[in-house]
Amino acid sequence: MPAVPGPWPSPLAYVPSAGEFDAAGPLTLVVFLPLLGAFVLALGPRPVARVLTRVAVLWTVPGALFLLAAAWFGASGHSVAGVRWLERLPGGGGFVLSVWNLVPALLVGLTAPLALMVEEPRAKTRGRAAGLLALAATTQAAILASGPGVCVLGWLGGAWSLFVLLGEADAETQGARAHGSFVLHTLAASCVLAASLAPPLLPLLALAGAIRLGIPPFHGALARAYEILPTGAVLLMTVGFGATGLLAVHDGLAALAQRGNAATLAVGTVAALGAAWAGLYALPQDDLRRRLAGFLSAQGALWCALLALLEPAFARPAVGGWALVTFVASVSVIVGYARLWAFTRTGDLRAYGGLGHNALVRSTLLLVALASLLAAPFLGARGRGAMSLLALVRTAPLAGLAAALGGALGCLALGLAIYRTIRGRAPAPIPAPDLAGREWAFLFLFAVTLVFLSSLGPEIGGLGSVWPVFAAADAP
Amino acid sequence: MIPRTVLDRTATALTFAFGAIAIAVAVHALGRAPAPPTLDPTGGFADDGWTRACRTAVLLVTGLSAIGLVRAPGLRRIAALLALMGAGAGVVLAAGALELPTLWGGIALATTLAPLAIVLADTRRSAARHALTSLLLGALACGVLALSFLALSALSGSTHVLEIGFQVTRFEDSAPFALTALRAAAVAVAMLAAWAPFHLALPELWGEGSAPLAGWHAVVWPWAGWSVLVRLSGGLAPALEEWGFDGVSAVSLFLVLGALLPGAAALAEDRLGRLFALLGIGVLSELLLSVHARGLDAGAVASGLWGYALAWIVGAAALAGVRARTGDDRLERLLGLSTRLPRTALAVAVAAFLWVGLPGTFSLAVRWSLWQAGAASPLVLVAVAGGALLRVLAVARLVAMLYFRVPSGTLEPPLVPHWYERGRWGVVFVAALAIEVALALGAQPWAGRLLTIEPVLFGG
């Protein structure tokens, strides 16, 4: 386990001494300002609800700006101590921002305003805006937590936010479809709680992470959640739950590895077969959101297999870089589809088509995002993702081929969906289908962010260096 | 002949005045500077951290219950208050007692007078059943305690708990008998402190009864039960050390059952009051994590009981509000309550969240400390986490009923109680919640006094 806290590599490993903390400040603001916004939206008077809902994004902007500034000025230091920010909360617990969790925190921080601005199939309500703010805040709490208490609360708060968002979105069946996902994500939070109570229970983190990543047998629940949730919540889930889930899987497997290779071998083999199953599951889905969820499930299972079956020092940088590119490209896919979802109000693939004819720029965005997803193993961590997959095939052929098949089938499923969206003629003409001004702004900001991330030094966690830094710091 | 209205108003004024004074005295006691523990000249009573914490809690809860006594008219209300005061005095007596007869006497007084208060203060037919249940449960606990205390005093030749700890080991083969007596005492404590499987009768008593009386029982009886355990474990510490007794293993069954069973039962509950009672019992069972190999951490128990009491006060106030606005607390009548009575629904949801752990509240902070300090085995900790999961699911079911369901079209319009009745539970709810948050933020000196009690006397 690393000697510096931060959920990206390790949520429960080490709590800094009290003297290292400063009073509550910007990090507290990153978490509590959106939470305050959620309370104001939920409890505010009815006459001003519409105004509050429209300006809900403002609650997330200061946090995003602070994280950008921290990354910018931290990057100029080019050292491990470039960013190390510890804050304590008045009631106990605290937050930490370090090179180890800066990149996922920054990604969630940038995704939060996007989640509140993106077009939705249904009219925006204050309940949904409050749920999105709470989801962003609790995800940040899980990432920035300096100790197990805040980390557990972040995970549990994420499950509750999801419950509210699912229940609000599933009004037709009186919220009945919210229960399955909530039960699973509460189970995940309970696993984190149990792991925080006693070191022998740390392997339960792998189960918690598997639930968040949607690794089989939890892929169905992830697909159902993606199908029901508002687009903004899908964005936050993809980035936030993906990052925290991957972290938990990594830590759980690291704890499991200390008990011998047999357990990790079994988990890795099951995960590899699960990747193949998730890929097969994604392929016949006729709902675009379910395909995206299936693709992410297959990727998650593939990463889990790599982490379990390969040497940690080799697998960590590979998986970290690969996952980072995948999250960023998935956000682009979701943003590219948001307006289409908002218009058709369904994820059914039969409602899509002909985008290449009437929205060339949007089609290009989707194709570039797909190309990024396909090239993620080569882009992230300087190609270590692809190398690690080859190594897995060489050392454990059955598991390696199953994992590779799963990843390929997931990519094929998403690629075919995008192809179907672009080719042919539109079943129903979409008004102003090409990128709007707001989406152009997103494109610009996201491109800047990508360039910024890729330009960061290894200490700060550039695109190819999140995990190598961790590995270096972990070394004696 | 004094007119009835005059009697009613006089009784109201008296009970309200007593309640306000009791609460003020309790708050003042919490704010006082710490003092070293003292023994009375006979050595039979200890005025230490546990006694003071218990006395303050009983004063506070009795004061709140006095303010909430509205169902009984005139003299019955005063009689009910006197019965509650007597029962509370019994608990305080037991908390400080170092002699076994006094310890037993205090518990007996509490378990006899408290059921009497139920029938005096609540004129509904169901109150008699609740009083009988309470009386039988208390009598059973007192009977078991009497047998246990007789055995311990016979084996040691003394009735003073500190002497028993040294003298009970004078016979080489006394250990099995003494430990059996101790386990029997733990069973009696389980009845008072609602450890599973003795939780079965309590949801009816705590969940269906009048909110202030049910709340008094739910908060004060566990203090009584834990007082027995604190005094016995403190006095018997030398003997437990010599016998190599493992307290953690001894209570692990109670802990596992207490964590899981109430949570599972709460999932199928159809009344809000009983649901809150089951959630509370689950939280109460977690206090067993404070038991260590050779005794227990009285400070952790006291702060845990304080957090539990605050959560119960918030829940009782929300429950009283729901009953006053909708007529009863069946969950089927609460479907879609958020659209009809948004503030009442929010109060219920907040109270339910307190039982599963609301961030930024004192009750969660003390539970977290307890979990972190617990010396139980990983399997037991998994059960504790599993119990927490079950309670979260039960609360999620309630929240879904309040917020995601469409209200039934045949429901009667909500009742409109008097402003002063609404104010009564509204003020208690807001005040208790504000205190929860203030204590979590470390409002001194109260937070310090609740988190760390003054030293407790023990043998050895």
Task: Kindly state the DSSP code that residue A85 receives in the 8-state scheme.
Answer: E
Distance CA B301, CA B366 (A): 9
The confidence score (pLDDT) of residue B12 equals: 83
A187 closest CA partner among A163, A171, A166: A163
Partner-chain contact A91 B360, CB within 8 Å? yes
Which residues have C-beta within 8 Å of that of residue A110, sequence separation ≥ 6?
A64, A67, A68, A445, A446, A449
Buried b (16+ CB within 10 A) or exposed e, B48-64: bbbbbbbbbbbbbbbbb
Mutate one of B343, B382, B436, B444 to test the A interface: name it (highest A CB count within 10 A).
B382
Token reading at B174 = 């006394």
Does pLDDT of A36 surpass 90?
yes
How far is the alpha carbon of B37 from chain A, nearest alpha carbon, in Å?
A: 29
Higher pLDDT, B410 or A23: A23
The confidence score (pLDDT) of residue B264 equals: 92
Buried b (16+ CB within 10 A) or exposed e, A340-365: bbebbebbebebbbbbbeebeebbeb
How far is the alpha carbon of A316 from chain B, nearest alpha carbon, in Å?
A: 29
The confidence score (pLDDT) of residue A401 equals: 95
Partner-chain contact B378 A167, CB within 8 Å? no
Residue B46 belongs to what H/E stretch?
Answer: strand B46-47
The confidence score (pLDDT) of residue A469 equals: 36
Distance CA B84, CA B378 (A): 41
Does pLDDT of A351 surpass 60?
yes
Among B346, B374, B400, beta carbon nearest to A175: B400
Say which range, A431-440, A460-469, B78-87, B122-131, has the weakest mean pLDDT.
Answer: A460-469
The confidence score (pLDDT) of residue A258 equals: 84
Higher pLDDT, A440 or A182: A182
Q: Which pTM was predicted?
A: 0.87
Partner-chain contact A167 B440, CB within 8 Å? no
If contacts are CB pairs under 8 Å, which of residues 425-454 in chain A contact chain B? none
Nearest chain A alpha carbon to B389: A190
Higher pLDDT, B285 or A7: B285
The confidence score (pLDDT) of residue A9 equals: 38
Residue type (1 letter), A121: P
The confidence score (pLDDT) of residue B419 equals: 65
| Beta bridge mates, B347 | none
Partner-chain contact B400 A157, CB within 8 Å? no
The complex's ipTM?
A: 0.83
Does pLDDT of A7 surpass 50?
no
A400-429 per-position pLDDT tens digit: 999 999 999 999 999 999 999 998 777 777
Length of chain B measured in residues = 460
Average confidence (pLDDT) over B129-144? 91
B349 closest CA partner among B241, B272, B290, B432: B272
If contacts are CB pairs under 8 Å, which of residues 421-450 in chain B contact chain A? 440-442
A416–B contact, CB cutoff 8 A: no
pLDDT bracket for residue A22 (50, 70, 90)? confident
Say which range, A5-9, A224-228, A322-326, has the weakest mean pLDDT.
Answer: A5-9
pLDDT bracket for residue A149 (50, 70, 90)? confident
* Contact indicator for B278, B235 with CB cutoff of 8 Å: no
Distance CA A290, CA A462 (A): 31
Distance CA B143, CA A344 (A): 72
Does pLDDT of B281 surpass 80?
yes
Mutate one of A186, A204, A228 to test the B interface: name it (highest B CB count within 10 A).
A186
Partner-chain contact A43 B346, CB within 8 Å? yes
Does pLDDT of B87 surpass 90?
yes
The confidence score (pLDDT) of residue A18 equals: 60
Partner-chain contact A198 B378, CB within 8 Å? yes
Distance CA B8, CA B6 (A): 5
Distance CA B453, CA B297 (A): 11
Which residues have C-beta within 8 Å of that of residue A333, sequence separation ≥ 6?
A292, A366, A369, A370, A373, A414, A418
Does pLDDT of B275 surpass 70?
yes
Does pLDDT of B246 surpass 60?
yes
Partner-chain contact A194 B385, CB within 8 Å? yes
Which residues have C-beta within 8 Å of that of residue A416, sequence separation ≥ 6?
A283
Among B368, B374, B396, beta carbon nearest to A149: B368
CB atoms within 10 A of CB A440: 12
Partner-chain contact B385 A191, CB within 8 Å? yes
Would you call A386 exposed, middle or buried from its count of C-beta atoms within 10 A (0-12, 13-18, 19+)?
middle
CA angle A22, A26, A31 (to 5 degrees): 110
Token reading at A190 = 């309970």
Average confidence (pLDDT) over A362-387? 86
What mean pLDDT value characterizes chain B?
Answer: 87
Does pLDDT of B15 surpass 80?
yes
Distance CA A201, CA B32 (A): 42
Does pLDDT of A77 surpass 70?
no
* Contact indicator for A26, A95 with CB cutoff of 8 Å: no
B114-128 per-position pLDDT tens digit: 999 988 888 788 888
The confidence score (pLDDT) of residue B99 equals: 92
Highest mean pLDDT among A17-31, A153-167, B325-339: A153-167
A45–B contact, CB cutoff 8 A: no
Average confidence (pLDDT) over A80-92? 73
B387-407 per-position pLDDT tens digit: 999 999 999 999 999 988 877
Residue with tokens 């984190």: A192
Distance CA B58, CA A118 (A): 55
Token reading at B447 = 């937070």
* Contact indicator for A433, A339 with CB cutoff of 8 Å: yes
How far is the alpha carbon of A187 from chain B, nearest alpha carbon, in Å?
A: 7
Whether omega before A11 lies within 30 degrees of 0, making that bond cis, reads no
Partner-chain contact B393 A175, CB within 8 Å? no
* Contact indicator for A448, A78 with CB cutoff of 8 Å: no
A198–B contact, CB cutoff 8 A: yes
A316-331 per-position pLDDT tens digit: 778 887 888 899 889 9
Token reading at B165 = 């700890």
Mutate one of A193, A196, A207 to test the B interface: name it (highest B CB count within 10 A).
A193
B409-439 per-position pLDDT tens digit: 655 666 666 666 667 778 889 999 999 888 8
What mean pLDDT value characterizes chain A?
Answer: 83
A119 closest CA partner among A463, A445, A381, A433: A433
Residue with tokens 């005492």: B185
Residue B296 belongs to what H/E stretch?
Answer: strand B295-296
pLDDT bracket for residue A62 (50, 70, 90)? very high
User: What 3 state SS string does A360-408 have?
Assistant: HHHHHHHHHHHHHHHHHHHHHHHHHHHHHHHHHHHHCHHHHHHHHHHHH
Q: Is the dihedral of CA B328, B331, B337, B340 positive or negative?
A: negative
φ, ψ (nearest 5 deg) of residue A4: -120, 135
The confidence score (pLDDT) of residue A162 equals: 93
Residue A462 belongs to what H/E stretch?
Answer: none
CB atoms within 10 A of CB B460: 16
Does pLDDT of B381 surpass 50?
yes
Partner-chain contact A156 B357, CB within 8 Å? yes
Residue with tokens 């050292």: A79
A122-131 per-position pLDDT tens digit: 888 888 999 9
Would you call A199 exposed, middle or buried from its count of C-beta atoms within 10 A (0-12, 13-18, 19+)?
exposed
The confidence score (pLDDT) of residue B410 equals: 59
The DSSP-derived string for A243-279 is HHHHHHHHHHHHHHHTT-HHHHHHHHHHHHHHHHHHH
Partner-chain contact A197 B368, CB within 8 Å? no
Residue type (1 letter), A280: L
The confidence score (pLDDT) of residue B425 equals: 79
Partner-chain contact B400 A178, CB within 8 Å? yes
The confidence score (pLDDT) of residue A476 equals: 35
Among B368, B378, B386, beta carbon nearest to A190: B386
A410 closest CA partner among A291, A245, A327, A324: A291
How far is the alpha carbon of A197 from chain B, nearest alpha carbon, in Å?
A: 6
If contacts are CB pairs under 8 Å, which of residues 327-346 in chain B contact chain A? 346
Partner-chain contact B392 A156, CB within 8 Å? yes
Nearest chain B alpha carbon to A186: B389
Among B386, B406, B442, beta carbon nearest to A91: B442
Nearest chain B alpha carbon to A163: B396
The confidence score (pLDDT) of residue A474 equals: 41
Residue with tokens 């602070």: A66
